Amino acid sequence: MGVLSRPEEVAALVRLKVAAGRIRRQIPPEAHWAFAYDMLQRVSRSFALVIQQLGPELRNAVCVFYLVLRALDTVEDDTGIPNEVKLPILRDFYRHIYNPDWLFSCGANDYRVLMDNFRQVSTAFLELGEGYQKAIEEITRRMGEGMAKFICMEVQTIDDYDEYCHYVAGLVGYGLSRLFHATGTEDLAPDHLSNSMGLFLQKTNIIRDYLEDINEIPKCRMFWPREIWSKYVDKLEDLKYEENSEKAVQCLNDMVTNALIHAHDCLQYMSALKDNSNFRFCAIPQIMAIGTCAICYNNVKVFRGVVKMRRGLTARIIDETKSISDVYSAFYEFSSLLESKIDDNDPNAALTRKRVDAIKKTCKSSGLLKRRGYDLEKSKYRMPMLIMIVLLLAAIILGVLYGK
């Protein structure tokens, strides 16, 4: 019932459900498209929500693009595949997307379903326009080569970390910029800005997913750079032990501070977007990323369990992000929340403040700030039971009406 203590989040959740129902009715009827959008929902609920911001043609291209890269990532992540098998698949994956008869079973749960039915994704890919196909092929080829490189090496330095994140996420930024350009709705963004859009999201995910990744079976694959974590512990897995909590949090803060360096480029990229649907598609994940950085910063729970933005706040961000003013306002507020958590005794406190101040200065100088009142804490009050019941009934009724 916690979400009901924030009526603005309840309203956003209802509107999100209504919008999702509307989009579902626009999915092409063919079996391969039904599979693609169902699989998108299963492997990334958050991305499935964000992709709703795009128009039908671009939405189909981005859906296929995401599933192709998710399949490639599934091959990379499956630590049970011998390297002599895995490396050629990663390097040749861009060719396999043209072949509906290609099959390689790996991964687990929904990811195995994706791999076992990859012919459906290939069929959808082959229906895209040539410009979309070439953009997806190019990024898949480059990403596969980069993944193959890092299968055989550890992320030692911050430069290695940036390079790895470029291959698995910066190139996604390149690809999306090319897809936007192919529609004729956007100018082609500079590569360094597209790269930063991917790096900020990827680094946030790497930070947030520490515990899940370190506990992965049969063996973990970690991307926290040794150059950072070795300042605090002897082994990366030592960060999860309670006796190392102080050092773990300091290391975490170092990682978040590193991620914040990309925020300025992200703001510059988003401010140049012309099409509102493209803008919302890009802006919502970036706001989620700065919010997640604020949640993770100085938070030992990253090493104890799952740390993520609550559902109601996510819905509110999706609902309210409509203009660059909303982006500046969200970045300013979440940066301020992160700033309030800085401990002066933290080894990186001064650098963290400097990067937060730079973000806030950029946002403030836009002259477009407005108060959103975002918060990361649990509510300190409860709504009267009658109001809770009314809101719940409204949500149920609207969900039923729009689901038909």
In single-letter form, the type of residue at position 199 comes to: L
Identify whether 150 is a catalytic site residue.
Answer: no
Both tokens of 325, joined, read: 């003013």
CA distance 103 to 91: 15
Integer CA distances (angstroms), 300 to 177, 239, 244, 246, 353, in order:
36, 10, 10, 8, 20
CA distance 230 to 302: 18
CA distance 393 to 376: 26
Cβ contact 222:213 at 8 Å? yes
Catalytic residue among 164, 174, 223, 297: 164
Peptide bond into 218 cis (omega under 30): yes
Integer CA distances (angstroms), 216 to 77, 80, 180, 220, 222, in order:
10, 11, 36, 5, 10
Q: Could you give the 3-state DSSP secondary structure of residue 358?
A: helix
Identify whether 15 is a catalytic site residue.
Answer: no
Integer CA distances (angstroms), 341 to 157, 301, 313, 338, 396, in order:
27, 14, 19, 5, 38
Catalytic residue among 24, 91, 112, 221: 221
Identify whether 221 is a catalytic site residue.
Answer: yes
Count other Cβ atoms within 10 Å, centred on residue 305. Answer: 8
Catalytic residue among 208, 280, 316, 372: 208
CA distance 337 to 374: 9
Catalytic residue among 66, 281, 297, 331: 281
Identify whether 353 is a catalytic site residue.
Answer: no
Burial degree of 277 (CB within 10 A; 0-12, 13-18, 19+): middle
Backbone torsion region of residue 217, taken as left when φ is above 0, otherwise alpha when ψ lies between -120 and 50, otherwise beta: beta
Integer CA distances (angstroms), 314 to 31, 46, 245, 320, in order:
30, 9, 29, 10
Cβ contact 266:200 at 8 Å? yes
Cβ contact 16:401 at 8 Å? no
Residue with tokens 């990024």: 139
Q: Active-site residues: which are they?
A: 164, 208, 221, 281
